[in-house]
A and B are shown apart, each in its own frame.
Chain A
């Protein structure tokens, strides 16, 4: 046995704790805290969803131990789920959520590919500088971006969207008090929120497209658009698909935009699923139903992600780590 490999076994064997498995102790604190603060609330959420919990009975207990009996809330079986699934408001929220996923993901992908094509075009000078400029918004906190965009769509005098409309000679629009106008404003904001991430991924995918393919297509007399369709798109498909799956999950869970813009209004018509559950619990004090809705939302997103992970093979990197 050579010295090097003997040392290597020594490093692998002893250093810290006697037995190899004792190293698990280093991982356990993190796992434990994570479980206590994420897993326990999940179990609790499941529990609440089977009770008629409201602030009046849920927080009625005298001691902290009442946490285990859900205060004085009563077990009502599947009633919350039945009433949720038979509520047209839930199905409205469900539909709007998927519609939002569809429209916002389409918008995000087309917009980002467009921007990425512009900043990788070989005729454009100073591409690198432009690229670092346009991904700057990634460093802004989401709450900043969303509140600023709420100001843009505000009906007050400073509202930027209306100022531009007036400048172009149109009438101003009450963005946040009309259903589809608010929906449109959600989409625009989500697009701006997500574009730096999408552009980064698309640009690096575009840079990996082999030059030879383009040259060969040019020799064959293909124009810009047919080259884009038949050379560029197939080459960047996989990374862009990967980014779209992640960004679709983000769209599905969109909370900040509807909540900050107009609480999912007007008249609860644009409450995306997560906002719907949150408002049901905290605004209308129906903790039981809110919990049921949130769990259904988690189930949907879980199934959606699972399908995508299976289809898109996202977990490939894990198996060999």
Chain B
């Protein structure tokens, strides 16, 4: 669990930095003010800094405005207009959580009657599970909630098989590519890296072929077949990523294990795999997100009843009848968990992709 502890440590560090920032800024300001008062610094210098910082803040605000806007639309009862006769409104008007209730809908576990026959008698024991009501949307005046839950279930049943299949294909391959020498090794590596560069967009161009094959074999509208396809597309990039990660583990650990008499499989399960936990987590997140966020192939192959979340989101924007507030709430419920995952994984992902140039 060193991975979890590492994440927690870094979060604590971040929190501390945020908490201390006002103090630091205050000290800085006092220091500058004194130095100006003593006449050591010209008074225009701090003004220039303040101006530049304000300018940068404006740029940041403008860049993130779409995200703010969608959040505001989801919260406002009026459906996302910042413009009205009274001028611009930057805070939601009559804020309400109804759009989110519409997205989530009822959370009710219906009552079941479980019958258990007692053996060798005519007796039967009947259990009635109580109806569990977590959230009753109609009680808040939201009838006819969205299909979010069924989309969510479909996404889950696509993404989980994707992860399992992809992991089974990726881990042995990256271990072999990192630690063993065999024929075609360099060729396989080169192919994978090349596919990493061009792979993504090819999917759409190849979709016609894929669709024709799937329909004729009768695999379209099958979530498992879609999952296998996603796993296949995830193989080159993630194998290469995990292989690069494993390259960073010193071989002396394995040598020590061999000296201690560990059989080969234990070298893998007790040295390599635990040491590459962060790499495995990155690959896990990447493959999961492949299935969770892919739109075009899912939209083409799946039927209405199997729509995943991205396709569901698109089907909402297609309809003029959906109020914008509801669309925004749906989009946010879909995207914000991914954003959180990204925040957590950011350091690892950036470490894995060799451009970690974000330190101050």
| Residues of A participating in the B interface, judged by any CB pair closer than 8 Å | 4, 7-8, 10-12, 14-16, 20-24, 26-27, 29-31, 33-34, 36-38, 40-45, 48, 53, 58-59, 61, 64, 66-67, 70-71, 115, 118-119, 121, 123-144, 147-152, 156-158, 160, 163-164, 166-167, 192, 195, 200-201, 203-205, 207-208, 246, 249-250, 252-253, 255-256, 259-260, 274, 277-278, 281-282, 287, 290-291, 294-295, 297-298, 301-302, 305, 309, 314-315, 317-318, 321
Decide if B324 is an interface residue (CB 8 Å cutoff): yes
**Would you list which residues of chain B between 252 and 297 have a CB under 8 Å from chain A?**
254-255, 258-259, 264-265, 267-268, 289, 292-293, 295-296
B173 and A26: CB pair below 8 A? yes
B258 and A10: CB pair below 8 A? yes
B56 and A253: CB pair below 8 A? no
Decide if B327 is an interface residue (CB 8 Å cutoff): yes
B189 and A321: CB pair below 8 A? yes
A141 and B310: CB pair below 8 A? yes
A38 and B232: CB pair below 8 A? yes
A16 and B264: CB pair below 8 A? yes
Q: Tell me the bound Cα distance from A135 to B264 in angstroms.
A: 43
Set A43, A124, A134, A317: member contacting B63, Cβ < 8 A: A134
With A33-B169, A158-B324 given, can you name 7 additional A-B contacts, CB distance below 8 Å? Answer: A38-B206, A136-B339, A195-B63, A256-B296, A298-B205, A305-B197, A315-B190
Contacts of B64 in A (CB 8 A): 133-134, 136-137
A167 and B83: CB pair below 8 A? yes
Set B83, B190, B251, B267: member contacting A8, Cβ < 8 A: B251
Q: Tell me the bound Cα distance from A31 to B188 in angstroms.
A: 8
A123 and B53: CB pair below 8 A? yes
Q: Name the residue among B216, B268, B310, B331 with the largest chain A CB count within 10 angstroms.
A: B216
Set A167, A203, A277: member contacting B88, Cβ < 8 A: A167
Q: Tell me the bound Cα distance from A176 to B259 in angstroms.
A: 69
Q: Which of B34-42, B101-109, B138-146, B207-215 contacts A (4 or more CB under 8 A)?
A: B207-215
Q: Tell me the bound Cα distance from A274 to B228 in angstroms.
A: 24
Contacts of A134 in B (CB 8 A): 60, 63-64
Decide if B133 is an interface residue (CB 8 Å cutoff): no
Q: What are 11 A-B pairs with beta-carbon distances under 8 A?
A: A8-B255, A30-B235, A71-B216, A124-B49, A125-B53, A137-B63, A139-B341, A151-B80, A151-B328, A152-B69, A278-B208
Q: Tell me how far the C-beta of A319 lies from the nearest C-beta in chain B, rounded to whole angstroms.
A: 8
B207 and A11: CB pair below 8 A? no
Set A61, A133, A192: member contacting B216, Cβ < 8 A: A61
Contacts of B51 in A (CB 8 A): 123
Q: Name the residue among B87, B194, B208, B357 with the largest chain A CB count within 10 angstroms.
A: B208
Set B184, B204, B210: member contacting A255, Cβ < 8 A: B204
A152 and B56: CB pair below 8 A? no
A23 and B180: CB pair below 8 A? yes
**Given known contacts A11-B255, A144-B313, A274-B201, A130 and B209 CB-to-CB distance under 8 angstroms:** no
Decide if B154 is an interface residue (CB 8 Å cutoff): no
Decide if B67 is an interface residue (CB 8 Å cutoff): yes
Contacts of A131 in B (CB 8 A): 358, 360
Q: Tell me the bound Cα distance from A7 to B252 in angstroms.
A: 10
Set A151, A253, A255: member contacting B327, Cβ < 8 A: A151
Decide if B248 is an interface residue (CB 8 Å cutoff): no
Set A12, A37, A70, A250: member contacting B233, Cβ < 8 A: A37
Contacts of A127 in B (CB 8 A): 56, 360
Set B181, B265, B320, B339: member contacting A20, Cβ < 8 A: B181
Decide if B229 is an interface residue (CB 8 Å cutoff): yes
Q: Tell me the bound Cα distance from A22 to B198 in angstroms.
A: 30
Q: Tell me the bound Cα distance from A167 to B67 in angstroms.
A: 20
Q: Tell me the bound Cα distance from A75 to B231 in angstroms.
A: 33
Q: Tell me how far the C-beta of B41 lies from the nearest C-beta in chain A, rounded to whole angstroms.
A: 13
Q: Tell me the bound Cα distance from A4 to B193 in angstroms.
A: 33
Q: Tell me how far the C-beta of A253 lies from the nearest C-beta in chain B, rounded to whole angstroms.
A: 3
Q: Tell me the bound Cα distance from A149 to B177 in angstroms.
A: 42
**Given known contacts A130-B56, A277-B205, A148 and B355 CB-to-CB distance under 8 angstroms:** no
Decide if B113 is an interface residue (CB 8 Å cutoff): no
Q: Tell me the bound Cα distance from A139 to B107 in angstroms.
A: 28
Set B60, B177, B197: member contacting A130, Cβ < 8 A: B60
Decide if B1 is an interface residue (CB 8 Å cutoff): no
Contacts of B210 in A (CB 8 A): 37, 41, 44
Decide if B110 is an interface residue (CB 8 Å cutoff): no
Nearest A residue to B29 by beta-carbon distance?
A: A125
Set B168, B207, B254: member contacting A29, Cβ < 8 A: B168
